[in-house]
């Protein structure tokens, strides 16, 4: 019963509004607005900083962005083929397949916009933006042409072989979707009067405030997808004779302990390049002009000779990378965190790598200050190597000597070898023999010393700075 009464009251109120018209304030704010699906005006939120005092908005939400198109799949590469040329006619199609086209991006959605209000609006309004169009998907790349391997005894027999080994076409890129139009304001600004106090009294005051409607931005159009690249032509490989080639094994990666007391064999088939592949085959053949022909088989052995004092098992995490090049030489890529003193020995097809010393890089820069004693010409600065590797690592020094206080100064010198005394892992630098002003070497003088040690082993080098500050003293 109560529901029926409420429905009838709602109906009568609607009829009354239609007959008598909307309130004056409604026509004054004839502005475009976006509503939520429920029909209710959403809560207001801060947006940009276009109005510091009234940076709030009514909105449902911006239009949804269109989905990006799916990229096309790449075409399959053509099959590889191996034939024996004996003068009999052979026709082969080893062409790659075309790539798929990319899908078009979806159009952006328009936000839901409303043209009228049913009451006063006392705040700025930012109309919703249109959704951007989705980007088009990229076209798939064309598949490469297949590889053709021909065994022959007479090169002229290749004229009986017709091959088509072209690359597939790339797929077309999808088109970008259109961006949607944002909501527009029919009225860009309006004034609302607000009053307080009791009408007819001195306390009754009114003030007017202007509000604005900001138009929604149009969504950008999606970008067109790129076209896929064309597949590459197949390649011709020639082998004189009928003996099948063995597989290549030109590279290896092992740690030191895996090479202890044994050797490893690397091998590869060496090829030479030539031009004019199409002219060697039957007319109408399609294949890359550059071809390769088998030259010879290369096999080499590699072995470690360990002469470092530490056991080789201490270096299980240090890997060597080996590569056999076309000249028959084994290239070695050493671990970066390990300093090595090495030499190579070649015995026929065996390459021996002699490891005289192996030092972890972190142990290279473990120099620490020990003593700063003496005065005048007898002033010395001692530095000790805590890792105990200075019998192997070469070390040279530079010094920056700063005299502090009045009439001070800063002096920099390369310390000559004759002024460095090395006692196993202890270095004594005769600073008093350098051309430092005499007053900077006197007892009680405040100084700051910075020594740069340049440590090197083979082709590796690294710097370390050792600092000290205090007063010059005899002992």
Span 377-400, mean pLDDT? 94
Helices and strands per DSSP (H, E), number in the chain:
3, 23
pLDDT greater at residue 313 or residue 468 = 468
* Range with the poorest average pLDDT among 3-17, 44-58, 210-224: 44-58
pLDDT in tens, 77-100: 999 999 999 999 999 999 999 999
Q: Quickly state the pLDDT bin for 400 (edges 50, 70, 90).
A: very high
pLDDT value for 369:
95
Residue 51 has pLDDT above 80, yes or no: no
What pLDDT does residue 408 have?
Answer: 80
Residues 16/22, Cβ–Cβ less than 8 Å: no
b/e burial code for range 222-258 (CB count within 10 A of at least 16 → b): bbbbbbbbbbbbbbbbbbeeeeeeeeeebebeebbbe
User: How much is the mean pLDDT over the chain?
Assistant: 85
Contacts of 335 (CB under 8 A, 6+ apart): 318, 319, 320
d(CA 191, CA 118): 16
Helix (H, G, I), strand (E, B) or coil at 385: strand
d(C-alpha 204, C-alpha 397), whole Å = 89
Helix residue ranges per DSSP H, 155-253 = none
* CA 19, 24, 25, 31 torsion-angle sign: positive
Closest CA to 350 of 446, 451, 266, 430: 266
CA separation for the pair 357, 402 (Å, rounded): 38
Q: Is-contact 158 280, C-beta < 8 A?
A: yes
Quote the Cα angle for 395-396-402, to 5°: 130
Burial tier of 76 (Cβ tally within 10 Å: 0-12, 13-18, 19+)? middle
Tens of pLDDT, residue by residue over 112-149, are 886 553 346 788 888 899 999 999 999 999 999 999 99
Q: Average pLDDT in the 329-356 region?
A: 92
CB-based contacts of 263, cutoff 8 Å, min separation 6: 301, 302, 303, 350
The reported pLDDT for the residue numbered 123 is: 82
Query: If pLDDT is split at 50, 70 and 90, which confidence band does 443 have?
Result: very high
Per-residue confidence band for 63, with pLDDT thresholds at 50, 70 and 90: very high
* Main-chain phi, psi angles of 452, to 5 degrees: -105, 120
d(C-alpha 143, C-alpha 30), whole Å: 60
Q: Are 96 and 145 in contact (CB under 8 A)?
A: yes
- What percentage of residues in the chain have a pLDDT greater than 90? 67
Instruction: Round to whole Å and give the CA distance between 427 and 386.
Output: 12
Q: Which residue has the tokens 């299980």?
A: 316
- CA–CA separation, 192 and 304 (whole Å): 91
Structure tokens at 456: 């090197």
Q: Which of 114-123, 306-315, 376-385 has the lowest mean pLDDT?
A: 114-123
- Each residue's pLDDT tens digit, 186-245: 888 888 888 888 888 888 999 988 888 888 999 999 999 999 999 999 999 999 998 889
End-to-end Cα spacing for the chain: 110
Q: pLDDT, tens digit, for every residue of 267-310?
A: 999 999 999 999 999 999 999 999 999 999 999 999 999 999 88
Structural contact between residues 145 and 165, judged by C-beta atoms closer than 8 angstroms:
yes
């Amino acid at each position: 019963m109560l529901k029926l009464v409420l429905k009838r009251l709602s109906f009568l109120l609607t009829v009354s509004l239609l007959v008598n018209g909307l309130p004056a304030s409604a026509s004054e704010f004839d502005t475009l607005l976006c509503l939520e699906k429920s029909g209710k005006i959403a809560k207001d939120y801060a947006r940009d900083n276009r109005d510091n005092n009234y940076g709030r908005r009514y909105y449902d939400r911006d239009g949804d962005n269109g989905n990006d198109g799916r990229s096309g799949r790449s075409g399959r590469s053509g099959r590889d083929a191996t034939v024996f040329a004996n003068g009999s006619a052979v026709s082969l199609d080893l062409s790659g397949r075309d790539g798929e086209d990319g899908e078009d991006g979806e159009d952006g959605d328009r936000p839901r916009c409303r043209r009228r209000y049913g009451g006063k609006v006392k705040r700025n309004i930012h109309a919703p933006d249109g959704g951007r169009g989705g980007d088009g998907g990229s076209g798939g790349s064309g598949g490469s042409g297949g590889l053709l391997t021909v065994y022959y005894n007479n090169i002229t027999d290749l004229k009986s072989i017709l091959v088509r080994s072209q690359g597939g076409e790339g797929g077309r890129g999808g088109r970008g979707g259109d961006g949607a139009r944002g909501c527009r304001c029919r009225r860009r600004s309006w004034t609302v009067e607000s009053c307080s106090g009791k009408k007819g009294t001195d306390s009754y005051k009114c003030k007017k405030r202007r509000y604005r409607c900001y138009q929604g931005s149009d969504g950008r159009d999606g970008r067109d997808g790129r076209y896929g690249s064309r597949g590459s032509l197949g390649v011709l490989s020639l082998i004189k004779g009928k003996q099948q080639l063995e597989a290549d094994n030109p590279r290896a990666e092992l740690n030191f302990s895996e090479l202890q007391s044994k050797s490893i064999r690397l091998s590869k088939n060496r090829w030479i390049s030539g031009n004019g592949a199409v002219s060697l085959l039957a007319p109408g053949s399609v294949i890359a002009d550059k071809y390769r022909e088998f030259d010879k088989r290369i096999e080499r052995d590699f072995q470690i000779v360990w002469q470092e004092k530490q056991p080789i098992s201490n270096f299980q995490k240090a890997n060597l990378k080996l590569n056999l090049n076309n000249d028959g030489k084994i290239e070695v890529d050493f671990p970066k965190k390990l300093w090595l003193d090495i030499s190579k020995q070649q015995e026929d097809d065996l390459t021996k790598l002699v490891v005289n010393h192996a030092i972890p890089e972190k142990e290279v820069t473990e120099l620490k200050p020990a003593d700063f004693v003496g005065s005048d010409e007898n002033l010395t600065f001692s530095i000790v190597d805590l890792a105990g590797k200075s019998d192997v690592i070469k070390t040279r020094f530079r010094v920056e000597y700063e005299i502090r206080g009045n009439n001070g100064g800063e002096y920099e010198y390369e310390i000559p070898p004759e002024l460095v005394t090395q006692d196993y892992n202890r270095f004594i630098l005769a600073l008093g023999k350098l051309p430092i002003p005499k007053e900077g070497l006197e007892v009680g003088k405040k100084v700051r010393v910075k020594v740069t040690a340049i440590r090197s082993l083979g082709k590796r080098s690294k710097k370390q700075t050792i600092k000290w500050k205090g007063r010059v003293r005899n002992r």
